[in-house]
């Protein structure tokens, strides 16, 4: 039974375990699309189901922006589920969408792997905030219990603190970019993004001619589309700012109070990086002090979880395996 969860190997999702040099080199990895999420299955006996939520903007394409981290988790035996989301000023709206997807996919995967498989939540930056909310009553109950959460580079700064000169610079810029321009093309921002979309449409038309090698349509074009998908969020956010929205909801104090009272994960690892100026791990650590949380400090910056392995495995590794392995290590 799939519990209403559809699976797909199309829409730019590769399910092949051994890339073919003539049709692809593994640009998309081995993700399987299930409903609104992407699933990466381990090649060894499964230890847990990991529910990953990425940071603001890049969370719209976590299967690409966090690919290396996710693949390392899968290699270690974890069934990785990552759900893209569009950033919104209403965090509850995002959490409701994530929760619905998580409930459906966890049910499906537990039918496949067994109900005893533990659930672990992992989030980065804004994703850590969303995982905290999902584990608290502020967004309603999940249909499963989490044994642990790993919150990486937690951040819940109000917009005015997170973005310098927000009212003086960002709000006027948003009004200008989203107001009708003098041309017939409409608002400047949507016009610019429309040009990118037109380029992608032209690229798809080229693929449809059959003149390009299979790798172009199978991997290169889907890879570019996925990598650029975070840009789709910008016009809507700027329009909300231009309309006067200046803060996320629920407020930071409300989120912290709910987490302090109702946070349910029995174990929480808080991860911070030494060179991260916007990290707020210490704040959430004090909030979850009575919930069994621990803090780990690692070398790196706020974007370290997004670092990619540029030497991912391809069929060319057959010719230089020792060199590739040495550089990768």
Domain contains 2:
no
Alpha carbon distance 35, 23 (integer Å): 26
User: Do 75 and 45 touch, CB atoms closer than 8 A?
Assistant: no
Q: Mean pLDDT in the chain? A: 78
SS3 content of the chain, % helix, strand, coil (to 5): 45, 15, 40
pLDDT of 306 > 70? The answer is yes
List pLDDT tens digits, range 43-96. 999 999 999 999 988 899 999 889 999 999 999 999 999 999 998 889 999 999
For residue 169, the enclosing domain spans: 160-246
Same domain, 15 and 135: yes
pLDDT band at 329 (very low <50, low <70, confident <90, very high): very low
The Cβ of residue 292 has, within 10 Å, a number of other Cβ atoms equal to 12
Q: The tokens 């000023």 sit on which residue?
A: 89
Same domain, 70 and 34: yes
pLDDT of 326 > 60? The answer is no
Same domain, 50 and 130: yes
pLDDT band at 198 (very low <50, low <70, confident <90, very high): confident
Radius of gyration of the chain (CA): 21
CATH number at residue 38: 3.40.50.1820
Q: How large is the angle between the packed helices 126-134 and 91-113, nearest 10 degrees? A: 70
The residue among 117, 136, 127 whose CA lies nearest residue 156 is 127
pLDDT of 4 > 60? The answer is no
DSSP conformational letter for 48: E
List pLDDT tens digits, range 127-179. 999 999 999 977 667 889 999 999 999 999 876 665 544 554 555 555 555 56
pLDDT of 1 > 60? The answer is no
Same domain, 233 and 100: no
């Amino acid at each position: 039974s799939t519990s209403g969860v559809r699976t797909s190997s199309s829409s730019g999702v590769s399910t092949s375990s051994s890339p073919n040099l003539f049709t692809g080199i593994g640009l998309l990895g081995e993700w399987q699309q299930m409903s609104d999420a992407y699933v990466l299955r381990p090649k060894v006996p499964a230890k847990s189901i990991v529910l990953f939520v990425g940071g603001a903007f890049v969370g719209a394409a976590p299967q690409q922006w966090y690919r290396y981290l996710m693949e390392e988790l899968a290699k270690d035996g974890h069934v990785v589920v990552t759900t893209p989301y569009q950033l919104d000023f209403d965090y509850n709206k995002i959490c409701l969408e994530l929760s619905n997807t998580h409930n459906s996919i966890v049910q499906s995967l537990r039918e496949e792997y067994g109900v005893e498989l533990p659930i672990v939540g992992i989030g980065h930056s804004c994703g850590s905030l969303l995982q905290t909310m999902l584990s608290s009553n502020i967004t309603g109950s999940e249909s499963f219990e989490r044994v642990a959460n790993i919150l990486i580079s937690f951040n819940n700064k109000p917009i005015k603190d997170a973005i310098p000169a927000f009212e003086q610079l960002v709000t006027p810029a948003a009004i200008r970019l989203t107001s009708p321009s003098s041309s017939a093309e409409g608002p400047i921002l949507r016009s610019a993004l429309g040009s990118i979309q037109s380029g992608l449409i032209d690229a798809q038309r080229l693929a449809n001619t059959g003149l390009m090698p299979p790798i172009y349509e199978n991997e290169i074009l889907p890879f570019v589309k996925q990598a650029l998908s975070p840009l789709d969020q910008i016009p809507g956010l700027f329009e909300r700012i231009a309309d006067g929205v200046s803060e996320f909801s629920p407020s930071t104090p409300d989120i912290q109070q709910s987490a302090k009272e109702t946070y349910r994960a029995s174990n929480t690892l808080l991860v911070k990086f030494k060179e991260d100026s916007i990290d707020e791990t210490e704040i959430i650590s004090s909030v979850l002090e009575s919930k069994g949380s621990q803090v780990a400090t690692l070398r790196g910056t706020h974007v370290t979880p997004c670092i990619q392995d540029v030497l991912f495995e391809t069929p060319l590794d057959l010719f230089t395996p020792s060199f590739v392995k040495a550089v990768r290590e």
